[in-house]
Amino acid sequence: MKTNDVILQTTTKVVFFIIFLFSIHIFFAGHYTPGGGFVGGLLTTGALLLLLLAFDLKTVRKALPFNFLIVVALGLLIALLTSAWPMLFNEPFLTHAFGDYDLPFLGESSLHTATLFDLGVYLVVVGAGMTMIQTIGGDT
Amino acid sequence: MNFVFLIFIPIIAALFVPLLYKTIKRIHTGWFVLIVPIVLFAIYTTLLPQTMKGESIVSTLQWIPSMHMNFVSYIDGLSLLFSLLITGIGSLVVLYSIFYLSDKKEQLGHFYVYLLLFMSAMLGVVQSDNVISLYLFWELTSISSFLLIAYWYTNDRSRFGALKSMMITVFGGLMMLGGFAILGIAADTFSIREMIANASTVTSHPLFTMAAVLILLGAFTKSAQFPFYIWLPDAMEAPTPVSAYLHSATMVKAGLYLVARFTPLFASSSTWIWLVMGVGIFTLFWGSFFAVKQTDLKAILAFSTVSQLGLIMSLLGASALTYHSNEAMFAVASFAAIFHLLNHATFKGSLFMVAGIVDLQTGTRDIRKLGGLMSIMPLTFTVAAIGSFSMAGLPPFNGFLSKEMFLDAMLAVRSFELFQFDTWGILFPIIAWIASVFTFIYSMYFVFHTFGKKGDVEALPKAPKEAPTGMLISPIILATLVVVIFFIPNVFGKWLIKPAVLALQPNLYDTPQQIDITIAAWHGFDSMALWMTIGVVAVGTLLYLSMNSWKKIYDAQPERLTLNNGYDALLNFTESGMNKISRSYMTGIIRSYFMYMFAAIAIMTLIAVYVKDAFAFDPNSFAPVTIYAILNGIILVLAISFVLLAKSRMAAFIALGASGYSVALFFVMFKAPDLALTQLVIETVSVALFLLAFQRLPELKNHGETKKNKVANAIIAIGVGFTVMLVALASQSQKLLPSISEYYKETVETLAAGGNIVNVILVDYRGFDTLFEIAVLSIAAIGVYTMIKLRLKGEKKADENE
């Protein structure tokens, strides 16, 4: 029996972006307010999970045509590189640097290498979560 | 010349044996091997003048100097006598084996490698001054003898015998190592000479008697004393040259050597003297008694060896008495011990070779089938007769001399007053006399049942004929020695025995010349020992002639009560018993293992808390309880109870989710917004994962749990819960150090440019942990991926095959 879930799908199209943006917000705000790479990653996974529930695996794979295992590897690589980078300057492993910079378009911004490390965490969480869901879900 | 290197010459020669065996097919490999013991024998002979003066030769090869473990070769009279026996009899045995083992049918390469290995090991045992290297060589003799016994490894009995001898001698060896360790600690040195020099400090060590017993266990197992003799008859499955060499002349005397070597150290201990004398004399009787029962030629010789080793052992025990008494007769005991050791090596070696010849020429060793070979094999018969008469203690053979001295020494034991010897000492000459009678009987039985009486020569598996000359050379040399020693015993005494006695009784003499013992074949009619010997011959002849009528007494001992049966039962018990024990708890069910683990956690923690009195309860350390926390706690408990009681999997999932959300609520209450966020999302994602996997999971069902299981599970679960609660309360109530979190609070903005302490700790202060946690997450993802994808591929393949 083919069910008609147009309401679900339409709502999802809207809600997905709200959740996704919220997760990005939480990711960036993590250094000052509750949040960070881990929760941000999980929320993104949650948003993608919603897509999976409203549509199906094939549609989502078509919309996001990449292998999430590569996302995991990318995340690990970013985290490892940001950690190892200071060693080139005779600093211990995982020394973070930060400072205020005047950037074009954005104006005065404070930048922190911890965000790059957090980005690694974020990518690993999204990739690992999606890999598990897709493999387990796809095995039917 | 550094004599320690001589020990290793046979091993080095063994390296070349396979090469010679493979490349030179025309010449029997034994001829090359023969050079080694002959050369060594010649070299050791040149040392005789030095040991005769009471000098000793010491040479060292460094091994692990930092731990005082070195190869120290210490050659005095005793070790030289043994070295000469090893190389001398070794040469004769190699010569004999050249004719005994065919170079067409046998794996000669193996045989001579093992034999040379054994020779090195044995030289090492008798020359080592360092107890650790002594132990090393000791085990090497066990291993090489194991290999030699199982030389015909396709034969079941050989493998059984080899394993049995290995088990028993290695057991003893390990005990001995324990004794050496105690001595090493007590004397603060591994050198035997230094131990003996510091005897007074060693004797006062609390574990001194323990060391004596452990070392004796090593000696008794190796020298086949009661009740460890059982391996020796089974070791008779070895080729006869091996039996002649290992199980009569050399290896079984390693235990005697050990006892002799340590006598100056342990002589002060009454345990030592009683054990050595008592076990020795009992073994003498037991071996001679059961030798008469045997029907296999080599088995008779094996029991006879056991019995003769017991004789020497008891004499060594008597020689230790000189440390307590000035009675001259005990000095004779040590002389007799060494003398009989030499005599036994000569006649027993020749007898084994005779048994081998008979076996090879007639095709059987069963004494019931043999008989009437005297006229067919006259030379072999002559050798056998000389050996047997010497073994029985008849003149004019060397066994007569040492047997007389033995009886003298045992008679003298009665007059010893310490250690209750004046009450029990009378037993020694009586047992010795009875054992001598049986020795006489089996010696006659051996020679006359094989060669004498009328036998059905036609019925033998092979038509018997005289052995080839080459095979007869070795037994004839040994038999000649038997006679020669009788006529010039004092020459041998002066050259070989007195220097060896000096090692046993350094308290009495400074040089071998001071030992004024002359052996006389004739003591005159007032000698008690002579009348005892006459009695032995008279009673022995009577009993031998009437043997068929009293042989039934051997059937009185049922098979069930023999020591062999005991050994088999012990082995069976350890094998099947251990199997049963491990099967009883290694059930293969994960449930049982979890039960052990959790029960162990609860029990160990509770015991630790109780023993250390670690429990404390301080209500002041607790924060005030709010109404929300109580309500949320009730929800959590309800949710968890529902998980436990749920009948369907779906209900359990949902209850699990509820408990997860209520934990998130706790995080909110206790002001942990990051944790609450993460907990909420992760709970959602994991419930979603559960639901994805749900349709593939089977129904919840009972996996064979009984009511008893459930009660046990409940008890363990409650125990663990209770334990964890106690630990939590106790650790909350007694915080010893202030928290480190103040530092984070102060520096989070200045050092890390952040505001959220939790996140800054995660990515900055302790980012290293986070790095590996994301690695764990990645591994989990890859694990799920591979597990599912690879299983699918496998299934597909299986489908294609169908």
Domain coordinates in residue numbering, chain B? 1-205, 748-802
Q: Enumerate chain B positions whose Cβ falls within 8 A of a Cβ in A.
A: 673-674, 677-678, 681-682, 684-685, 688-689, 692-693, 695-696, 752-756, 758-760, 762-764, 767-768, 770-771, 774-775, 777-778, 780-782, 784-785, 788-789, 792
User: How long is chain B?
Assistant: 802
* pLDDT mean over B183-210: 89
Chain B touched by A50 (CB under 8 Å): no
pLDDT of residue B420: 64
Flag whether pLDDT at B517 surpasses 80: no
- Which residue of chain A is at minimal alpha-carbon distance from B793? A139
Q: Is A126 on the interface with B (CB under 8 A)?
A: no
Which residues in chain B are closer than 8 Å to A44, comparing Cβ atoms?
Answer: none
In chain B, what is the straight-line distance between the N-terminal and C-terminal CA atoms, in Å?
A: 79
Q: Which residues of A touch B763 (CB under 8 A)?
A: 36-37, 96, 114, 117-118, 121
Distances from the Cα of B769 to the Cαs of B763, B764, B766, in angstroms? 9, 10, 6
User: Which tokens go with B493?
Assistant: 């005494």
Going by the DSSP 8-state scheme, the letter that residue A87 receives in this structure is G
pLDDT tens digits along B479-495: 999 999 988 888 888 88
pLDDT above 60: residue B802: no
Q: Residue B304: its pLDDT value, please?
A: 94
Query: How many CB atoms are closer than 10 A to CB B44?
Result: 24
Q: How far is A118 from chain B (nearest CA, A)?
A: 7
Q: Do A114 and B695 touch (CB under 8 A)?
A: no
Q: Is the pLDDT of residue B221 over 90?
A: yes
> pLDDT, tens digit, for every residue of B405-428?
888 888 887 777 666 666 677 888
Q: For residue A30, give the nearest of B763, B554, B481 by alpha carbon.
A: B763
CB contact under 8 A, A117 and B767: yes
> Mean pLDDT over residues B338-346, rounded?
92
Mean pLDDT of all residues in B188-196? 90
Asked if B774 and A79 come within 8 Å (Cβ–Cβ), the reply is yes
- Residue B136 has a pLDDT of 95
CB-count exposure of residue B599 (10 Å: 0-12, 13-18, 19+): middle
- The pLDDT tens digits for B738-796 are 888 888 888 888 888 888 888 899 888 888 999 999 999 999 999 988 888 887 555 55
**CB contact A25 to B (< 8 Å):** no
pLDDT at site B700: 67
Q: Which residue has the tokens 């390693």?
A: B254
Select from B723, B713, B730 the least CA-distant residue to B603: B723
Q: What is the pLDDT of residue A112?
A: 85
pLDDT at B116 > cutoff 50: yes
Cβ of A34 within 8 Å of Cβ of B756? The answer is yes
Q: Which of A34, A73, A133 sits opposite B689 (nearest CB)?
A: A133
**pLDDT bucket at B721, cuts 50 / 70 / 90:** very high
Highest mean pLDDT, choosing among A1-5, B545-549, B587-591, B781-785: B781-785
In this prediction, residue B801 carries a pLDDT of 44
Residue B521 has pLDDT above 70, yes or no: no
Taking the model in full, what pTM does it have?
0.82
Residue B250 CA, distance from chain mean position: 19
- Nearest C-alpha in A relative to B679: A39
Q: Chain B: residue nearest A29 by CA?
A: B756
What SS3 state is found at A103? strand
The pLDDT value given to residue B14:
93
pLDDT of residue B792: 57
Q: What is the mean pLDDT of chain B?
A: 87
The neighbour count for residue B111, using CB atoms within 10 Å, is 24
How far apart are the C-alpha atoms of B299 and B411, rounded to whole Å? Answer: 31
Q: Quote the CA–CA distance of B219 and B258 in Å, as a whole number.
A: 6
- All residues of chain B having their beta carbon less than 8 Å from the beta carbon of residue A96 are 752, 763-764, 767
Mutate to test the interface with A, among B774, B782, B789 (most CBs of A within 10 A): B774
Average pLDDT for B563-579: 90
3-state secondary structure of B677: helix
Please enumerate in sequence order all residues whose Cβ is within 8 A of that of B530, keeping only pairs 6 or more positions apart, or say none.
Answer: B404, B523, B524
CB neighbours of residue B385 within 10 Å: 20
Q: Which of B686, B696, B759, B784 to mutate to test the interface with A (most CBs of A within 10 A)?
A: B759
Does the pLDDT of residue B220 top 50, yes or no?
yes
Instruction: For A50-74, write each residue's pLDDT tens digit.
Output: 888 888 888 888 888 888 999 999 9
Mean per-residue pLDDT, B427-439? 90
Q: How far apart are CA B176 and CA A122, in angstroms?
A: 65
Residues of A in contact with B762 (CB under 8 A): 36, 38
For B19-63, write each residue's pLDDT tens digit. Answer: 999 898 888 889 999 999 999 999 999 999 888 888 889 999 999
Closest residue in chain B to residue A130, using alpha carbons only: B781
* Cα torsion B49, B51, B53, B58: sign: positive
Asked if residue A30 has pLDDT above 90, the reply is no
Contact A136 B752 (CB under 8 A): no
Q: Which of B261-265, B621-625, B727-731 has the lowest mean pLDDT?
A: B621-625
Q: How does residue A1 score in pLDDT terms, banded at 50, 70 and 90?
A: very low
**pLDDT single digits (tens) B775-791:** 999 999 999 888 888 87
Residues in A touching B781 (Cβ below 8 Å): 68-69, 72, 127-129, 131-132
Give yes or no for A47 touching B (CB within 8 A). Answer: no
The answer to whether A49 contacts B688, with C-beta atoms less than 8 Å apart, is yes
In this complex, do B781 and A98 lie within 8 Å of one another by their Cβ atoms?
Answer: no
* C-beta atoms of B756 and A80 within 8 A: no
How many Å apart are CA B159 and CA B553, to the nearest integer?
A: 32
Q: Is B789 in Cβ contact with A135 (below 8 Å)?
A: yes
Contact B784 A45 (CB under 8 A): no
Distance from CA of B649 to the nearest CA of A (A): 18
CA distance B316 to B312: 6
- Residues of A whose CB is below 8 A from B768: 83, 93-94
Closest by CA position to B30, among listed B117, B120, B114, B109: B109
Chain A CB contacts of B690 under 8 Å are none
Half-sphere exposure for B603 (CA within 13 Å, toward CB): 8
- Determine the Cα angle at B398 with ends B396 and B399, to 5°: 105
Do B90 and B349 meet the contact criterion of CB atoms below 8 Å apart? no
Tell if the CB–CB gap between A36 and B692 is shorter than 8 Å. no
Q: Does the CB of A100 have a partner CB in chain B at under 8 Å?
A: no
With a cut of 90, say whether residue B268 has pLDDT above it.
Answer: no
H, E, C per residue of B286-305: HHHHHHCCCCEHHHHHHHHH
Res. B468 pLDDT band, cuts 50 70 90: confident
* Mean of pLDDT values over B347-351: 93
In sequence order, the 6+-apart residues with CB closer than 8 A to the CB of B380 are: B354, B357, B358, B361, B373, B451, B466, B467, B472, B475
| Contact check, Cβ <8 Å, B685/A49 | yes
Contact criterion met (CB < 8 Å) for B774 and A75: yes
Residues in chain B closer than 8 A to A42 (CB atoms): 678, 681-682, 685
Cβ-Cβ pairs closer than 8 A, A with B, add up to: 138
The pLDDT-based confidence of B800 (bands split at 50, 70, 90) is: very low
Please state the rounded mean pLDDT for residues A81-92: 89
Tokens at B640, concatenated: 């968890």
Tokens of B256: 């005697």
| % residues pLDDT > 90 (chain B) | 45
Q: Which band of pLDDT confidence, cut at 50, 70 and 90, is reported for residue A111?
A: confident
pLDDT at residue B363, as a whole number:
86
